[in-house]
Structure formats: C-alpha cells, structure tokens
Amino acid sequence: MIQKIRNWASDTFEEFETFAVDVIYDRRDDLRAQLFGAFLKGLSLLFTLIVKLRNRLYQWKILKNQPLGCLVVVVGNLTVGGTGKTPVVEIFARNLAQRGRKVAILSRGYKSRKEPAWRRFWRLISHQEEPPPKIVSDGTNVLLDSEQAGDEPYMLACNLPGVIVLCDPNRVKAGFYAVKHLGVDTLVLDDGYQYFPLKGRLNLLLIDKGNPFGNYSLLPRGILREPISHMDRASYIFLTKSDGEPDPEIVEAIRKHHPKVEIIECAHRPQYLQNIQTGERLELEVLKNARIGAFSGIATPENFETGLLSFGARLEDRQRFLDHHRFSRRELDYISLQARRKGLEMVVTTEKDAVRIPKDFETSVPFYYLRLEIEILSGAQDFEEAVARICFPKEELRIRGGHPRVP
C-alpha cells in the first residue's frame, strides 16, 4: 500500500513537472498552459530582480570572490540545458592535459545522490568540518557511479583518463582541495558561468544556435538563467549546434551586448553507435532504413531524434523523459518490450542517458548510444588551436610571431 502511494506521488509529480517544462519551452498553448505561464511570468520578474541584485553585489565587492592561483576555465551558458556543454568541457580538458597540464574538472554534481539532510543539520549544530568534495575520478580510476556523481561528471570521468573529476556545490572548496591535495594547476568548471565566487576566470559562454534564448524570459517562465545582456562577461562565445548556415540575427544580438567578443562556431557531429551492454561499435550507415526505437531524458530531445532521422532511420517508437531522469527497471523493461513487439532492430539513446542504465540490465533488443563529438566550423582552425589561443595566448603569440616567451 505504501509503495503504491509512493508510486502515485512520484508519477503525479513527474506529470506536473512535464507539464511545467512544456510551458517553459512553449510546447503547449491551451488555456491551462496560458494561465500557468502568466503565473510563472510573475515569478520570472521577481527572479530577474534577484539575479541583477546578486550581480551588483559582486560588482560592488560586497560579495567577495577568491583566487586559487591557477588557470581557471569556465564553460557555461545563459540558459538551462541543451547547449552541449559536456563535449566542450571534455575536449578542453583533454587538450589541456595533452599540453602537460594537471587538470581537474569541477562540477556541482547536478542530480547526484545528496548527503541526507539530517546529517548536514547534525554537522552544522555540532560544528563539524564539511566533508571533502566527491572524487569521481582521481585521474587513474573512476571511483563513483552516475547515481553518486551525476550524469555528466561520471561520463567525463569515463571518457577522460588522466583528468581528475570532482563534485561539490562549493566549487571554491573543491578547487582548493584539487590544488592543495591533488597537485592540480588547471581547473575546468563545468556549468560555471553563474558561479561568481571564483576569481580570475576565463569565461567560455555557449549559445545554442537553434534556440539561443528561448522566449527571452528568465526562469521559471523561460529558459534564461540571467538577462542576455550579461553575456558581456564572456571571454569567448561558442555558437553551438550550428548547421553552418549564416545567421545574422544571432550575431547581431551578440554584438549588441558584447561588440568585440570573439565568436567560435561549432557543430556536434555524430560519430558512431556503441552497444551499451557489449561495447560493440557500429558505423552510422547501419541506421539507413533501419527500424529503430529511441528514448532520452535530455532538455532538447528533438535535436537527438532529428539527428537519427537525418541518417535515414525509421523511428517507429520514441519515449521522452525529463532532463536527467533516472530510469527505473520498469521503464527500461517497457521500452525493451515495445521494441520486441514492433520487431525493431535496435533502440538508441544518448550517451548521457546511457550512463543511467544499470550495467546488468538485459534486453533481447540491443540498446545503443549515439556518440557525439564537437567540431569547429569557424573562428578557429580546430580545438587544439582554440585551446592554445584561449588558454595560452602568450605562448601562442611566441610560436606564431617569434616573440620571446613571457614567463
């Protein structure tokens, strides 16, 4: 009986959350959605005031930020979800490590398993020290799973041997720990554009070319975390998910708020399919005329599904879940059952979703994930050159122009 009540409460909450997300992304326009949208608009105005006040408090030095004495590269965005941060973090961290830097990625561990509230309360009243950050990877071994670490940190840890991955909402504390105890000289902040407490940062701002600013409203009515005028803090702007076609409107919007910023345009390119159970890799050509199913729990599932269709796949079953949804056995069994009943050749999901599938999950229809990698279209020759120019400008100047290296 108790389990039935829990399941009902969970299903009801998820149904409401799905409805709210549809309103935020303007996917619904019925009367109920319009009324709820008007309510959210009022909350957005309040949130806008809070965001602007916080920004001012840091500008006026009332709230302080701290230097860590090392290179800090921030990868973030103005909106919630969907800009393709993780591949950019991965390629920057990999290139920095290949250049001899000791790199640590700092993540807040969104949707990871949290310390129980009672334990935090007891530590507060008993004046105990805060625990150290979670070490997802020490650079040699992956130490936590996706439930403990969160999707992105776990995926980055698996894909980046030699790079340390830490999780903690307090990125200053995590950064100090990485520098002091792990000998790190370079920090990469995943989703850190709004994280002001760290000083001396290179801000790499990502903007989704297909949906740059949503409906231009801040949360919770829109997808913006802060006003678009705040892009003026960016050191560089990456225009992601580009199709290569010129878009003067987006460029004009960027130039209006940040006239001199350098814009680097890039695309997320599918590379191959990998079997979640066996690790087998398939070329993307197998998708042509293949009868497949697809499921995902990401912010913009439309881009993922459109990508599969562009390779000629016949998408005969699709399941969409909320961003960062943790799949239950019941849901995975249902997806597998539907695929078997329809005689589908395979089921495809995203790499980020694949890390939330239990390793011992068995299915009669093979499950694959689509591997994406990022490629520069304009603004730099490639990511190796971009990393050199952004993170090591003096060294790059010496190589290109023959000037003496400045220590």
pLDDT in tens, 169-213: 999 999 999 999 999 999 999 999 999 998 877 999 999 999 999
**Cβ(209)–Cβ(253) under 8 Å?**
no
pTM over 0.85: yes
**pLDDT score, position 394:** 66
- The beta strands (E) that lie in 108-257 are given as 134-138, 164-167, 186-190, 201-208, 236-240
Determine the Cα angle at 307 with ends 302 and 206, to 5°: 70
Peptide bond into 220 cis (omega under 30): yes
DSSP 112: P
Higher local confidence (pLDDT), 130 or 30:
30
Average pLDDT, the chain: 91
- For the stretch 352-361, pLDDT in tens is 999 999 888 9
Per-residue pLDDT for 332 more than 50? yes
- For the stretch 102-129, pLDDT in tens is 999 999 988 777 777 777 777 777 777 8
Per-residue pLDDT for 401 more than 70? no
**Cβ(103)–Cβ(163) under 8 Å?**
yes
H or E stretch covering 213: none
pLDDT band at residue 400 using 50, 70 and 90 as cut-offs? very low
- For the stretch 250-285, pLDDT in tens is 999 999 999 999 999 999 999 999 999 999 999 999
Interval 233-239 mean pLDDT: 95
- For the stretch 48-80, pLDDT in tens is 999 999 999 999 999 999 999 999 999 999 999
Query: 180-194 b/e with 16+ CB inside 10 Å = b?
Result: eeeebebbbbbbbbb
pLDDT band at residue 383 using 50, 70 and 90 as cut-offs? confident
Per-residue pLDDT for 405 more than 50? no
Interval 151-177 mean pLDDT: 96
Structure tokens given for 147? 């439930």
Domains and CATH numbers, the chain: 2-59 (no CATH), 71-268+375-401 (3.40.50), 272-373 (3.40.50)
Q: Which residues pair with 187 in a beta bridge?
A: 72, 104
Residue 11 dihedral angles phi and psi, to the nearest 5°: -65, -40
The DSSP string of 144-171 is: S-HHHH-HHHHHHHHH-TT-EEEE-S-H
**Cβ(308)–Cβ(294) under 8 Å?**
yes
